[in-house]
Amino acid sequence: MKKTKIYVAGHTGMVGSAITLLLKNKDIHLITKTRAELELTSQGAVQEFFKIEKPDQVYLAAGKVGGIYANTKYPAEFIYENLMIETNIIHAAFLNEVKKLLFLGSSSIYPKFVNQPISEDSLLDGPLEPTNEPYAIAKIAGIKICESYNHQYGQSHNLDYRSVMITNIYGPGDNYHEENSHVVAGLIGRFHQAKIKKLPKISIWGSGLVKREFIYVDDVARASIYVMNLNQDKYKNNAKYKYSHINVGVGTDVSIKELAFMLKEIVGYAGEIEFDKNKPDGIARKFLNSNRINNLGWRSEITLKEGLKKTYEAFLKLGKY
């Protein structure tokens, strides 16, 4: 019997590597390519790859990601690279008869001022947070590309392209750069350096009062594979046209101040923390309504404290910092 060929785009990234690790335990033919082997922003290269490999399924986890600082400093790269990658992959998948594709996006797609917890039908219901608008627009486009191909070619070509929008991800494989990283990885790197250098205090951007929901990367991988393999009728019954994406969250959130003190304890930093209120906070709260995926039978398994400990352990094993 022929094995299912599955291509994971972005397999070296945090989420892509976690998906790849889980898929390796299954009886499939797994396809991965590094950036040196396949430049995803090149339409010609992507189409040639799909023409040769002919995958049956695609996990679209590739893209340019970063925190507030990176989004603010590099908006052109964030919108261009993400738009090119998702457009090239989804169109090449269609041209080469890929029936099943999962596009992974972010809770950044939702408006700045929106009812909490945020439901899927809040999409395009108001202006976006300015600090990550280019990235958010690219991810919204990814949802709409999937919806458009399903709408036009779903019946004639039996397409089933799905999207999951994920809350703030953390875990092994993240970028620990002090400025260009996500909040958890950035704080781990900073607390660790402050501990090693015995700094008396560290300063954190913003008031510390904003609240965020955090999901461990292994939970994201499990959710992605779960949604990809859901029965098509079951998925369609829970995903409306124009709001076909599914939120993936954990059901609880914490303030950045709470997160900082939790990490301070886990890392073992003895100094003080100050919050720089002159720096931007971003959205006051970003908490997803995950009822849809919960009703479909999936729930997160890893608590924040457990996940933060695992993340710091993985950070220490890198031996780079």
Respond yes or no: is residue 243 known to be catalytic.
Answer: no
Kindly list the strands in the beta sheet with 160-166, ordered across the sheet, starting from the edge strand earlier in the chain: 29-31, 5-9, 57-60, 100-106, 160-166, 246-248
What pLDDT shows up at residue 175?
76
- pLDDT band per the 50, 70, 90 thresholds, residue 1: confident
Looking at residue 67, what is its pLDDT? 72
Q: State the DSSP string of 144-206.
A: HHHHHHHHHHHHHH--EEEEEEE-EEESTT----TTTS-HHHHHHHHHHHHHHHT-SEEEEES
| Residue-level pLDDT at 178 | 60
Is the pLDDT confidence value at 321 over 90?
no
Q: Is the pLDDT of residue 281 over 90?
A: no
- What average pLDDT does the segment 19-42 reach? 96
Instruction: Quickly state the pLDDT bin for 109 (edges 50, 70, 90).
Output: very high
Q: pLDDT value at position 181?
A: 66
C-alpha span between 182 and 52 (Å, rounded): 36
The per-residue pLDDT for range 37-73, each reduced to its tens digit, is 999 999 999 999 999 999 999 999 999 887 777 788 8
Question: In this model, does residue 139 exceed pLDDT 70?
Answer: yes
Query: For position 184, what pLDDT does the model report?
Result: 92
pLDDT in tens, 293-312: 999 999 999 999 999 999 99
What is the average pLDDT score of the chain?
A: 93
* 199's tokens: 């700094």
* Domain 5-318 superfamily per CATH: NAD(P)-binding Rossmann-like Domain (3.40.50.720)
Q: Choosing from 7, 69, 135, 216, which is the catalytic residue?
A: 135
Would you state the pLDDT for residue 177? 65
* 167-217 pLDDT, tens digit each: 999 999 887 766 666 789 989 999 999 999 999 999 998 999 999 999 999
Residue 179's pLDDT is 61
Tokens 């976006």, residue located:
128
Which whole number is the average pLDDT over 230-256? 92
What is the average per-residue pLDDT within 101-114? 94
What confidence score (pLDDT) does residue 306 get? Answer: 98
CA atoms of 44 and 2, how far apart (whole Å): 28
**Residue at 313: amino acid letter:** E
Give pLDDT tens digits for 82-101. 999 999 999 999 999 999 99
Q: Which residue has the tokens 């220490």?
A: 316
- Note the pLDDT tens digit of each residue in 250-261: 999 999 999 999
